[in-house]
């Protein structure tokens, strides 16, 4: 085995880099694989999370649209009548259920009503609840509003008949 002299060391140092190293070391390949794996794991987590949020957002938007449609339907009919349906709908690919409640709300105390005999209007509370999701963890929207209805036809006919008799 020949000893390395100064001339041999100089020749090794003077060689171009491409001749000194052929390829990557095992350590460099392992570090690159770990970094690539970590990057892909983060990317897949972000993509699955955004997909899940998009599905929830779609469900909320569909429920809100159904609630507004049913509330408009109830308020547009004078007798609060709805089209015949089962209280369940498939809207935007999501199974939704709903419940509607219409209740009269007293405006005046009985003593006040006795003093204001001309005031016969009725205030109604209208509530709609739309629900969806699994039975274990259901989600729901609830919309509520009020509607002041004119007095019934019989109540307005009496004062008009009394005024005509005078």
Mean pLDDT of successive 10-residue stretches along the chain, which has 166 residues: 61 60 86 95 92 90 88 81 69 83 85 80 88 86 87 57 48
Look at residue 12 in the predicted model and tell me its pLDDT.
59
Domain ranges of the chain: 25-159
DSSP for 31-43, written as a single string: HHHHHHHHHHHHH
Q: What's the pLDDT at 109?
A: 84
Q: Are 97 and 131 in contact (CB under 8 A)?
A: yes
Structure tokens at 91: 């809207």
Give every CB contact of residue 102 below 8 A, 6+ residues apart in sequence. Answer: 74, 80, 124, 125, 126, 127
Rounded to whole angstroms, how far apart are CA atoms 149 and 140?
A: 28
């Amino acid at each position: 085995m020949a000893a390395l002299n100064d001339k041999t060391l100089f020749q090794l140092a003077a060689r171009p880099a491409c001749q000194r190293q052929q390829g990557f070391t095992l350590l460099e390949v392992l570090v690159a694989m770990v970094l690539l794996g970590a990057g892909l794991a983060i990317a897949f987590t972000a993509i699955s999370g955004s997909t899940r949020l998009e599905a929830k957002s779609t469900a909320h938007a569909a429920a809100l649209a159904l609630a507004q449609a049913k509330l408009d339907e109830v308020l547009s009919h004078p007798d609060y009548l709805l089209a015949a349906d089962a209280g369940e709908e498939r809207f935007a690919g999501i199974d939704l259920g709903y419940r509607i409640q219409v209740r009269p709300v007293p405006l005046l105390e009985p003593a006040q009503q006795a003093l204001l005999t001309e005031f016969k209007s009725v205030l109604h509370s209208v509530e709609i609840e739309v629900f969806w999701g699994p039975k274990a963890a259901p989600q729901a929207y609830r919309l509520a509003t009020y509607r002041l209805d004119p007095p019934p036809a019989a109540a307005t006919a009496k004062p008009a008949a009394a005024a005509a008799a005078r």
